[in-house]
Structure 1
Amino acid sequence: MFLMSVNQTLNNDELIKEMQDKVVALQDHEISFLNDTIANIWATVGIGAGIIVGIAGFVGWLINRSNQKAQQKMQLAEQILGDAQVAKEELLQYKADLEVYREETRKEFSELISLVNSERIANLKNDIVILSITSQIRGNLEECQRMIDNGWQDYKYLLDQTVKYNVVKEYRDCQISIRTIRDKVKEPLLELTRGKELLDDSMILKEEVLNIVTELQLQVEALFFEECIKDQMAT
């Protein structure tokens, strides 16, 4: 019985030890599983944290970029506002200058109207017309003198003839008329009416001189023709 009790005790001890070993093994397994789980959790947490950090960094980059763009837009807006302010000031200054210019122009125009309507301008206009008429008269006289000079040889030829030609006297009369009108316009004309009369006289004289010089030439040619006929008849 004692041996059986001893054997039973030994069996119980072995059973307890085996149970203890199994418990220890189970605990080791659980601890290992727990450690692996914790490690996996930390790895997952690390990945999540990395993702979160990455997202946070991306978000921070976006925010920084947005801030930079916002600052650029703000600077551009400030520049535009500044340019607009400058343009507004320039426009106001331009309007002020334009108003001053308009006022000065109105004043000058009024003064010009007053001057145009003044007696001084009326006298000036009259003087200009008189000067123009005087210039036309002198131009007509110069043309008359040129034609007289061109007919001089014909005049001398007819003057030496025994026959008296009326055109010779008319030629001399034209010379006298030219000198007379020239003497009248040596000094500035004072009256417009008198100036117009002298202009008419100079135009009439120019036509007369042209006719007389032409007649002189025709008379000379007629004499040459008669002489040629006489020479032919004589031969």
Structure 2
Amino acid sequence: MERPQPQTPRITVIAPMKNEAGSVMALADEIAEACAPLAPFEAIFVNDGSDDGTAEAIAEARRRHPWLRELRHAQSCGQSAAVLSGVRAARAPIICTLDGDGQNPPAEIPRMVAPLLADREGRLGLVAGQRVARQDTLSKRLASRTANALRARILRDDTRDTGCGLKAFPRHVFLELPFFDHIHRYLPALVRREGYEVAHVDVSHRPRGAGRSHYTNLGRAMVGALDLFGVWWLLRRRKLARIERIDP
């Protein structure tokens, strides 16, 4: 007897993870609850070269949740590379990303994808979450505020908080973008560069429940300066052609 084929999911939730064993099961359980009204759905936990018990925790979560998939990097490649791997493997036309540390509440997923599910014209290229009452250290909040202000002034992307992990977009739009490391911080500007609209949704934020952050303020600042210049250059060089007619 042939096994029934799974339905094509409406959305794919992607969570990059590096050494997040303590967050896996709770995150999977919350995704299950939040996405039940959106079924069929799937989630891909991208294990980005973890050397703790993340793989074992994902395996346990998969036994409870058959819609959960694991994608594993042999070595750590960073958040943007993990998102790209997840998008390439996704089976749904709509993607929603969130951080794997549990600070982005999965309960926000339906609000993130709703504008895309309602977009019949295909004009919307990104729904960007913007954290309210951010639950991070003071130094991290101040560094993020400075970086966001500088980015917004130079790129004019009209986005208050591009570092939020909660984002939703059509799969094909993300795959059209020029990929580089840390692209996840510049999606509003790059999506507009391709001629799509960007919507914003204020989302809640939680303290980290387990594990530790893999970023430092100094490291972010150093790579951020180069990335900002590179994205500015990309925006300056883009010319969109409007097709008026195609003769048969």
Normalising by structure 1, what TM-score? 0.22
Structure holding more helix per residue: 1
